[in-house]
Amino acid sequence: MKTAKTLLASIAFGLSLTALPTVVSANGVVTDQVNHLKAHLGEYSEEVSWLVEKYDGVVTTYTKKGKQTDTQQLIDYWEEVNFHSAIETQYIPIYATIWQGIYGMKTAIEEGADVATLRAEQSKLNQALWQALGAVKVAAHYQDKGVIAKVQTTEQEPTTAPAVIDDIEKRLDKVVAKYAEQLTEVATTMVHDAYLQRFEGIEGALIEQDADLVEDLEKDFNVTLPQALDGKTSVDKVRSIVETMKNKLAKARKLLVEAEQNRKDVF
Amino acid sequence: MQRRTFLQSLAAAGALSALPFGARSEAAVASAVSVNNLPELAGDLTLYLGRGEGGLYENVLQAIRQRNPKLNLEIRRGATAALANTLIAEAQAGVKRADLFWAVDTGSIGLITDAGLAKPLPADISSQLKDGFQYPSWTPVTGRVRTLPYNTERLSADKIPDSIMALADSDLSIGWAPAYASFQSFVTAMRILEGEKATANWLRGVNRHATKYAGELGVVMAVERGEVDLGFANHYYTLRLKAGKPDANVDLAFTRGDAGCLVNASGILSLTDGDLPFNFMRYLLSAEVQAYLSSEAYEIPLVNGVKAPQGLPPMASLTPPELDLRKLADLRPTLGLMREVGVL
């Protein structure tokens, strides 16, 4: 887990990027509530407390019923809260960690793990939920100051190479989230879409700057990441691959910005 | 038949010009016009823009805006085919939101012209364009040519057939990207030119010694690495790779007079009468914009008098097949055929 300081720095960085282009989550349309976070912070705090209590109740049930415990309710509780959309649109990396935590508990129950193991998974999930609340509070602060862009209600096409890179990074974060949600086909399709709809548009310019970097990223998009999304690879491993790709994309971004500065004028 | 038309020899052959683009008399040919001689653009225009080459189309549009402060240009961006379908749906619903449609492939242009939505072009626009690229209700902006990138360590140019159909029976290892839109346009051209049966046999034949890649840049890079002897790809991937890696082990070969050297184009059409949309088109066909897209995006200028991108032979030395590019819109039978023979 990240330290609080690192987390805040990451959030600030994440928020400085453009708003998410995709507004339909796996669980429905994101409402305009996500553009008024400050007005809903009290509600979100209550929801996180409610979730922590509900997940604790599931563990208590497990101590009595064992593997007969209904694990679907772990997912239903999370999807029921408005906080779900708030973190999905503001800071996807923690959104992915929450799903990882939910499935950590679900798997422990279904495999009949001892209660201590289940408690350890619950603890990880609780930590992710509180971190997420912190992230949303930071987002509300910056949103209130007008520093971050509104979450768009319609799909927006990035129009510059840096904007395309930002968009790809967001999409890759969502890949981790969807994989953590155990939607492996959705995650794989998202990788293909990120490659075909976004990376292909910039790789022609990038290959003029660094052919080896393009080759490396081509392999990541078409082999390394899709192969990792097989349902057996750990979420942490997939996250690690994505983080490595994002480091390469950051280098690509720098090269493309420099190339654009050196480009001749149209007229 | 063996042939070896490759970059260097093509450049020399271009001077002979016994080829289709050289046919028009000099007197009838108009050349690209400078923006300095174009009218100022003023008023409201809505452009539907298919995805282009990185941000370069955006740079062009931004430059046009800056030069024409009285122009209020609204842009809707999306996948070209999706925008074409939107235009048709809007027309069927009796709604018109777009004045112009700039598409990255000609197939989508065909959907709109076939639906009767495109307005006839003024004669001076067509007269600037190279022979073979003049159409009554739309204009190509820039072109791209199908090529055979080959590994120069594994292969010499004289070992490559100059017939695309002959490649099915060769013993060369081939890289291709069957799921890629440009490849499917090329197969559509082959189907129209050679027929369904010959195309199906060609796909089966190539499939026996081909390796699949997700995109055509991937094909070119695989050729350069020596994973395969040659590949099928649009010209600009190789030129851009060589721009970044001048010693890359890859060069370009071309077939002659068949789908293997098809020249496809991006294009624009107007859905609105009046001078403004056509004047906007004139900016895209101006000497400055054509030169910019040639030098920065390696696209082929289709207006007379503008230099082709560095590293590509002159247009006059290429021998693309005679084909109304709008027919490339007929993609559905191509996809059916590719699925039937198991390459998709």
Q: What is each CA distance from A215 to A212, A220, B43, B220, B241, in whole angstroms?
A: 5, 9, 45, 11, 11
The pLDDT confidence band at residue A17, using thresholds 50, 70 and 90, is very low
The pLDDT confidence band at residue B25, using thresholds 50, 70 and 90, is very low
Task: State the smallest CA–CA distance between residue B115 and chain A in angstroms.
Answer: 27
Q: Is A208 on the interface with B (CB under 8 A)?
A: yes
The pLDDT confidence band at residue B29, using thresholds 50, 70 and 90, is low
**CB contact at 8 A, A252 and A217:** yes
Whole-angstrom distance, CA of residue B169 vs CA of residue A55: 65
* Highest mean pLDDT, choosing among A140-154, B40-54, B150-164: B150-164
Whole-angstrom distance, CA of residue B252 vs CA of residue B233: 10
Please judge whether B54 and A200 are an interchain contact, meaning their C-beta atoms are less than 8 angstroms apart: no
Task: State the smallest CA–CA distance between residue A27 and chain B in angstroms.
Answer: 25
**CB contact at 8 A, A177 and A257:** no
Q: What's the rounded mean pLDDT across residues B74-83?
A: 88
One-character DSSP codes across A7-51 = HHHHHHHHHHSPPPS--EETTEEPPGGGG--GGGHHHHHHHHHHH
Separation of CA A170 from chain center: 7
Q: Is A224 on the interface with B (CB under 8 A)?
A: no
Segment A253-267, tens digit of pLDDT: 999 999 988 888 999
Whole-angstrom distance, CA of residue B258 vs CA of residue B255: 7
The pLDDT confidence band at residue A28, using thresholds 50, 70 and 90, is low
In the prediction, which pLDDT does B314 show? 79
Q: What's the rounded mean pLDDT across residues B48-62?
A: 82
Q: Is A265 on the interface with B (CB under 8 A)?
A: yes
Please judge whether B55 and A260 are an interchain contact, meaning their C-beta atoms are less than 8 angstroms apart: yes
pLDDT at A98 over 50: yes
Q: What's the rounded mean pLDDT across residues B212-229?
A: 93
A148-162, B44-58, B217-231: least confident range:
A148-162
**Which residues in chain B are contacts of A207 at CB distance < 8 A?**
217, 237, 240-241, 243-245
**What is the bridge-based pairing of β-strands B139-151 and B233-234?**
antiparallel
Q: Is A262 on the interface with B (CB under 8 A)?
A: no
The pLDDT confidence band at residue B53, using thresholds 50, 70 and 90, is low
Whole-angstrom distance, CA of residue B28 vs CA of residue B124: 11
Please judge whether B51 and A197 are an interchain contact, meaning their C-beta atoms are less than 8 angstroms apart: yes
Count how many pairs of residues, chain A against chain B, have C-beta atoms within 8 Å: 88
Please judge whether A204 and B237 are an interchain contact, meaning their C-beta atoms are less than 8 angstroms apart: yes
Segment A203-238, tens digit of pLDDT: 888 999 999 999 999 999 989 999 999 999 999 999
Segment B274-298, tens digit of pLDDT: 999 999 999 999 999 999 999 998 9
Q: What's the rounded mean pLDDT across residues B119-139?
A: 92
pTM over 0.80: no
Q: Which of B49, B76, B241 to mutate to test the interface with A (most CBs of A within 10 A)?
A: B241
**What is the bridge-based pairing of β-strands B210-212 and B174-176?**
parallel
Segment B324-335, tens digit of pLDDT: 888 888 889 999
Q: In 3-state terms, chain A is what percent helix, strand and coil (to 5)?
A: 75, 0, 20
Q: Which of B142, B217, B225, B283 to mutate to test the interface with A (most CBs of A within 10 A)?
A: B217
Alpha-carbon torsion, ordered A237, A240, A245, A251, to 10 deg? -160
State which residue of chain B sits closest to A157, comparing Cα positions: B77
pLDDT at A29 over 80: no
Q: Which of A189, A207, A258 to mutate to test the interface with B (most CBs of B within 10 A)?
A: A207
In the prediction, which pLDDT does A134 show? 93
Q: Using CB atoms, which residue from B35, B58, B78 is nearest to A267?
A: B35
**Which residues in chain A are contacts of B64 at CB distance < 8 A?**
266
In the prediction, which pLDDT does B44 show? 97
Please judge whether B240 and A207 are an interchain contact, meaning their C-beta atoms are less than 8 angstroms apart: yes
Q: Using CB atoms, which residue from A157, A208, A266 is nearest to B243?
A: A208
In B244-253, which positions are buried (b, 16+ CB within 10 angstroms) versus exposed (e)?
Answer: bbeebebbbb
Separation of CA A83 from chain center: 14
pLDDT at B13 over 50: no
Please judge whether B244 and A161 are an interchain contact, meaning their C-beta atoms are less than 8 angstroms apart: no
Q: What's the rounded mean pLDDT across residues A44-64?
A: 94
**Which residues in chain B are contacts of A208 at CB distance < 8 A?**
240, 243-244
Segment A116-134, tens digit of pLDDT: 999 999 999 999 999 999 9
Please judge whether B53 and A221 are an interchain contact, meaning their C-beta atoms are less than 8 angstroms apart: no
pLDDT at A33 over 50: yes
